[in-house]
Structure 1
Amino acid sequence: MRKTAAAGLAVGIIAALGFAMPASADTNGSAQLSVLHGIPDTPVDVYVNGELTLDDFQPGDLAGPLELPAGDYEVALTATDAADASSPVLGPATLTLAAGSNYTAVAHLTEAGEPGLNLFTNDTATTAAGEGRLTVRHVAAAPAVDVLAGGSPVVEGLTNPNEATLNLPAGTVSAAVALAGTTEPVLGPTDVQIQDGVLTIVYAWGSAEDGNLAIAAQTVTGLHSSPDGVPSGSAGYLAQRDASTTFLMIAGAGVLAIAVAAGAVTVVRARQGASH
């Protein structure tokens, strides 16, 4: 049985990290940090700077964003029955948070199926009116993919742990995805909603070989906010309707479906430019 519900997870990580001062701190600013556990079948305990921060953190759990002092944080993942962080299953790794930046730390599998930890910087720069931003992150033990539009690849060879980002007109786009080097869709065509002033981040995680691929979709709103505003909010299953950062977990075969949106819009823009 899980030791914590989703509500307890979010509260616990905020409380614990709030007291885990960075090894090297910038006291003049803070950063936003969200956390995704994307290693299947591997509940872990999370230690930050040697202190137990998350007990029995489950695959698919998401938490944050947390507002933390900028600086360096040493993170280690251990077995759930570990007495301390001396024998981690992943790490220790140092996460460096810069003041004013927005991050997501992801524990995931490499393409070869080994545990890995990556700190992604979320692009919260202001978008133009009528546009949103889409970022696709490949953090699954799965091969590279191509994004197709009109039957042709427009994003090629997206591999673990890389990402692709585009600013897109708000609305619905339709496209498909294929294994790298092929043009036969394995997913899609799929309709995807691009929201005005919202950063949508899609994570493909899990293992293709083990048949447990899934997607996590994180949204960060407020990209049209004033220069002094910092996009942030709540996450996970605690997210409210007005939260500026939310997470949605979607399990199943549609692991890379949202990734195809980038390709469709690229081709649409090219055609629009050619017609003028």
Structure 2
Amino acid sequence: MTSRTALTTLGLGTVAALAVAGTAPALAQATAADSDKATVSVLHAVPGLTVDVYANGQELVPDFKPGALTDPQQLDAGSYDIKVFEDGEGPDGTPAVEKKIDVPAGADATVVAHLSEDGTPELNAFVNDTSAVDAGKARLTVRHVAAAPAVDVRAGGSPVFEDLANPKQATAEVAAGTVEADVVLAGTDTVALGPADLDLAEGTSTVVYAWGSAGDDNLALKTQAISDLHSSPAGVPAGESGAAADGTNSASGWLAAGGALSFGALAWGLRRGRAGAQR
């Protein structure tokens, strides 16, 4: 796959994200503090591509790098003219992709541009569960968005989620506290990522993304934290957990890029061909 093709795919994923997040299944589950707003985060999980994103002529995310997760923001429902340029080519150049989209009210989602299991860049929108968490509990969600086979996710050496395939997610409420988690090939003890300590505080939701490419040895984990779920079912995602910001805030304050949290990819034991996105 050429760099341009991969960039266009990523661009389409980014600009279509809010429309996808507003589909019927998402809206059926999503909540927002303001019915006239939409809450959206975007994760860039395609290795090897850096882009600049513009909306209504204003640069929102300069130098949007792989592994960056934007801060969640509530946007006014309405129409946005989105343009995505190869890094440094905007705003007077020709955009790689341009699209006017409608941002639906009430949506609360994280949109992920990532690789499919076979290494093709694609887009998926995941609804963030912001319902209340029982006392003494925390919510743990794992999202498989890596070019890699199905996996099991373990906590303290015991499987919590089994046979999780790209681009699926799994969620459970667990006892609050610190757990040691790792990712193994489905049905085996072959560690692919981790172990890593996850601090699952009471009344919070921790979302863990497995992203990157097994074939290119760049698998990584990314975490997203959602807080205040014990007291506010309509809480807004609070941002990232344990990741230092490495992006630049937008001029409008809409998006801010965050850094990747990588625990270093270990051998999967199953090599894939080179992923579609060029380095």
Name the TM-score, length of structure 1 as normaliser.
0.65
Query: How many Å separate the matches in 2 of 1:149 and 1:59?
Result: 27
CA contact (8 A) 1:217 1:247 kept: no
Query: How many Å separate the matches in 1 of 2:215 and 2:227?
Result: 35
1:181 Cα deviation from its structure 2 partner: 3.4
1:217 Cα deviation from its structure 2 partner: 0.5
Q: Give me the CA root mean square deviation.
A: 3.6
Alignment of 1:69-80 (within 5 A): 69-70=76-77, 77-80=84-87
Q: 1:106 aligns with which of 103, 112, 126?
A: 112
**Which of 144-153 and 163-172 deviates more?**
144-153
Whichever residue aligns with residue 114 of structure 1, its letter is T
Instruction: Percent identity, please.
Output: 45
Query: Residue in 1 aligned with 2:251?
Result: none
Query: How many Å separate the matches in 2 of 1:249 and 1:224?
Result: 28
Query: Residue in 2 aligned with 1:265?
Result: none
Q: Give per-residue Cα distances to partners, 1:186-227, cap 9 Å, x unaligned.
A: 556655332101110111111111111111111010101245
Query: Residue in 2 aligned with 1:61?
Result: 68
Q: 1:202 aligns with which of 205, 208, 211?
A: 208
Query: Residue in 2 aligned with 1:30?
Result: 37
Query: How many Å separate the matches in 2 of 1:136 and 1:93?
Result: 31
CA contact (8 A) 1:199 1:223 kept: yes
Name the TM-score, length of structure 2 as normaliser.
0.65
Q: SS in structure 2 opposite 1:224?
A: coil
Q: Give per-residue Cα distances to partners, 1:130-154, cap 9 Å, x unaligned.
A: 1110110111111111235797755
Whichever residue aligns with residue 222 of structure 1, its letter is D
Q: Give per-residue Cα distances to partners, 1:111-148, cap 9 Å, x unaligned.
A: 11111122211101000111110110111111111235
Query: Residue in 1 aligned with 2:185?
Result: 179
CA contact (8 A) 2:196 2:263 kept: no
Distance 1:248 1:79, change over 3 A: closer
Alignment of 1:116-265 (within 5 A): 116-148=122-154, 155-174=161-180, 176-186=182-192, 191-226=197-232, 230-233=235-238, 237=245, 249-253=260-264
CA contact (8 A) 2:147 2:213 kept: yes
Q: Which has the higher strand share?
A: 1
- Is residue 43 from structure 1 mapped to residue 50 from structure 2 by the alignment? yes
Query: How many Å separate the matches in 1 of 2:81 and 2:144?
Result: 24
Whichever residue aligns with residue 72 of structure 2, its letter is P
Higher relative CO (Cα under 8 Å, sequence separation at least 6) belongs to 2
CA contact (8 A) 2:77 2:102 kept: no
1:155 Cα deviation from its structure 2 partner: 2.8
CA contact (8 A) 1:95 1:119 kept: no
CA contact (8 A) 2:151 2:164 kept: yes
Whichever residue aligns with residue 79 of structure 1, its letter is E
Distance 1:166 1:128, change over 3 A: same
Q: Give per-residue Cα distances to partners, 1:47-90, cap 9 Å, x unaligned.
A: 447875433211122222111124676766442226243x33xx
